[in-house]
């Protein structure tokens, strides 16, 4: 039988695993053990299930796939703090995910799509176009890969930012199912507040997310405080202009009681002047929020350059004057093209099996 036709175990909820186990004649507690083996012991192979009789190990191996990626290049930044891994998908597409090491945290930046349909002009993923949505299991598998890697060093994944390739709210169900699986106390058990979803601003999805009243953090890629500029950088702004986006953000904060983050990639002379900061302050006044600025990272098809540290500081100071908390995000992994907006696939496909 072709292994690729088996369901990927990470695509299934605990309930679905339980039903499958029942269907192959196993008692319910086996489903729980399988789940714990995968998400707590981080086992990646049926043969790892030492608590199962040999016959059952064979049976789960012929019922499920325990991995769908062919691992491609793994790059480590010069400062050793950032790791980027290329994952080849069974259909020949590829994605990337990044590990960022901090003193007391290990943050993953994971992908939700191969490519992206949003076409933001300064983003390398946008520049490569949309290939396809990832399944929930493919989103989960990126986390398990790094969790296993970290386990060898006695470390754990502490935070997950859904800011890799793709627009998570364009792949809403799979993204939230993946979070559910990773958040499940019986499973990977990472607290909801440890996740951050970043969206370009798909208003109907923001509204839907607000109604779910989750504890997951939400970040909005704003980058401009007027429609002309925002539409020229983020084409989706023509569909969901600021007059719709900002009220949706306000509503999110009101419904969930959670602070929202606005992301702003500072581009020299484009959106980094003091008047840009004061226009932003006026736009988001009264919203419980936090502004995260980062100097634009270079990408192949966009000419703009990132702002200097002084301009970033001045921009932030202006926001602070308006009582808006602002932090300057440090660029990470630029030497291996692992920074924000730099994820794109250039490598050739893997050899045929």
Which residues of the shown chain bind ligand SAH in the complex (CB under 6 A)? 118, 120, 122-123, 163, 167, 198-200, 221, 263, 265, 294, 296-297, 299, 340-341
Q: Smallest Cα–Cα separation from 198: which of 30, 101, 341?
A: 341
Catalytic-residue membership of 109: no
Minimum CB separation of residue 326 from ligand SAH in Å reads 15
Choice between 12 and 221, CB closer to ligand SAH: 221
In the complex, minimum distance from the CB of residue 343 to ligand SAH, in angstroms, rounded to a whole number: 8
Distance CA 96, CA 109 (A): 9
Specify the residue, 3 or 329, whose C-beta has the smaller distance to ligand SAH: 329
- Catalytic choice (19, 96, 138, 156): 96
Q: Closest CB to ligand SAH among 123 and 336?
A: 123
State which residue, 277 or 338, has the beta carbon closest to ligand SAH.
338
Q: What b/e string do you get for 140-155 counting C-beta neighbours within 10 Å, with b at 16 or more?
A: bbbbbbbbebbeeeee
Q: How far is the CB of 175 from ligand SAH (least distance, A)?
A: 11
Opening angle at CA 61, ends 56 and 66, nearest 5: 130
Catalytic site residue from 116, 120, 289, 340: 340
Pick 68 or 295: Cβ nearer ligand SAH: 295
110 burial class (0-12, 13-18, 19+ CB within 10 angstroms)? buried
Instruction: Please tell me the distance from the alpha carbon of residue 175 to that of residue 195, in angstroms, as a whole number.
Output: 11
Q: Tell me which DSSP letter residue 142 carries.
A: H
Nearest to 235 by CA among 113, 115, 121, 112: 121
Active site residue 318: no
Q: How far apart are the first and last CA of the chain?
A: 15
Could you tell me the smallest distance in angstroms from the CB atom of residue 170 to ligand SAH? 8
At closest approach, how far in Å is the CB of 88 from ligand SAH?
Answer: 21
Catalytic residue numbers read 96, 340
């Amino acid at each position: 039988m072709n292994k690729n036709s088996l369901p990927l175990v990470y695509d299934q909820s605990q309930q679905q695993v339980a039903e499958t186990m029942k269907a192959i004649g196993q008692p319910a507690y086996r489903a729980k053990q399988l789940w714990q083996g995968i998400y707590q012991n981080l086992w990646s192979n049926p043969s790892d299930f030492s608590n199962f009789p040999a016959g059952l190990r064979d049976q789960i191996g012929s019922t499920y796939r325990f991995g769908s990626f062919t691992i491609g290049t793994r790059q480590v930044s010069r400062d050793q703090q950032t790791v980027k891994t290329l994952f080849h998908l069974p259909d020949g597409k590829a994605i990337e995910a990044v590990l960022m090491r901090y003193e007391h945290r290990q943050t993953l930046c994971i992908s939700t799509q191969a490519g992206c349909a949003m076409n933001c002009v300064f983003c390398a993923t946008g520049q490569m176009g949309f290939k396809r949505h990832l399944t929930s299991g493919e989103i989960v598998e990126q986390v398990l890969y790094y969790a296993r890697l970290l386990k060898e060093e006695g470390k754990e994944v502490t935070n997950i930012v859904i800011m890799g390739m793709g627009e998570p709210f364009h792949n809403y169900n799979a993204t939230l199912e993946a979070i559910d699986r990773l958040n499940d106390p019986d499973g990977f058990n990472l607290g909801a507040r440890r996740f951050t979803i970043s969206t370009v601003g798909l208003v109907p999805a923001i509204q839907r997310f607000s109604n779910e009243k989750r504890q997951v953090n939400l970040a909005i890629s704003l980058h401009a405080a007027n429609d002309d500029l925002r539409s020229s950088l983020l084409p989706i702004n023509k569909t969901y202009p600021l007059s719709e986006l900002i009220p949706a953000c306000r509503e999110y904060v009101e419904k969930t009681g959670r602070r929202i983050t606005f992301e702003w990639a500072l581009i020299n002379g484009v959106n980094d002047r003091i008047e840009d900061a004061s226009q932003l302050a006026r736009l988001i006044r009264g919203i419980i929020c936090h502004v995260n600025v980062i100097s634009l990272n270079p990408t192949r098809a966009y000419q703009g350059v990132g702002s200097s540290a002084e301009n970033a500081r001045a921009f932030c100071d202006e926001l602070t004057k308006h009582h808006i908390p602002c932090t300057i995000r440090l660029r990470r992994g630029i030497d291996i093209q692992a920074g924000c907006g730099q994820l794109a696939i250039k490598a050739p496909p893997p050899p045929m099996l």
